[in-house]
Amino acid sequence: MPVILDAASELPPVENLTKFIRMGVDMVAFSGGKGLRAPQSTGILIGRKDLMEAAYLNAFSFNKPKASIGRPMKIAKEEIVGLITALEIFVNADHEAEWADWRAKSQVIVDAMQNIPHVSAHVYEGPVYPGPNAPTAVITLDDTWTGPTAAEITEQFRNGDPPIYIGDGPATNVLWVAPVALKDGEAELIAKRLVGVLSLVNG
């Protein structure tokens, strides 16, 4: 029985493009729309030749006698070009510099939390959410916290102006901010908004 791995959000690091195959996995699927930052509808299959050929047989092609299951799920040529371009950029990127940038953006948010009562924060460099692995600002509301829940805070952020999407969970008292899509200056904006919301509770 072949082992097929759903590694949708396992990029970066770039080494994962080949690591799972070296470990003995028969076929690996990566999302194009997560760590690769390619069009959202795209993805990559890597693996054993016979499994790749089987996958191809289920792709859409006018050259086959009958349309396969891939017919209603085909992607545009422009999206394929976008995926290939994104993969080339990803493979050749300076991932150490990118990681350092994400760490710095997360640290900006963590530093802003240091003097808020009943709140602790740190940069966590492991998987926190179902997306690209990155140094992430994790904010914990202590047991003495009497303000809004983490879920209520994320909803307040989404309904703000501008809307800001931060995460909560898996614990009910945890917030997190992923830096992967943040532009310069946006970490400061998020930190300011967080300080404004969390500082309202002082008891």
pLDDT, tens digit, 9 for 90 and up, residues 175-192:
999 998 899 999 999 999
* Segment 75-81 long-range contacts (CB within 8 Å, at least 24 positions apart): 75/39, 75/41, 75/42, 78/39, 79/38, 79/39, 79/41, 79/42, 80/42
If pLDDT is split at 50, 70 and 90, which confidence band does 66 have? low
Nearest residue to 11 via CA among 81, 95, 80, 75: 95
Does residue 2 have a cis bond before it (omega within 30 degrees)? no
Q: Grade residue 203 by pLDDT with cuts at 50, 70 and 90.
A: very low
- CATH architecture of the domain covering 95-198: Alpha-Beta Complex (3.90)
Q: Is residue 74 over pLDDT 90?
A: no
| Confidence band for 200, pLDDT divided at 50, 70 and 90 | confident
- CA–CA separation, 155 and 73 (whole Å): 33
| Residue 157 clears pLDDT 90, i.e. is over it | yes
Can you give the pLDDT at residue 61? Answer: 61
Q: Among 92, 199, 195, 97, which Cα is nearest to 137's?
A: 195
Query: What distance in Å separates the CA atoms of residue 104 and residue 127, rounded to the nearest whole number?
Result: 17
Asked if residue 138 lies in contact with residue 128, where contact means CB atoms within 8 angstroms, the answer is yes
The residue ranges of every structural domain in the chain are: 4-92, 95-198
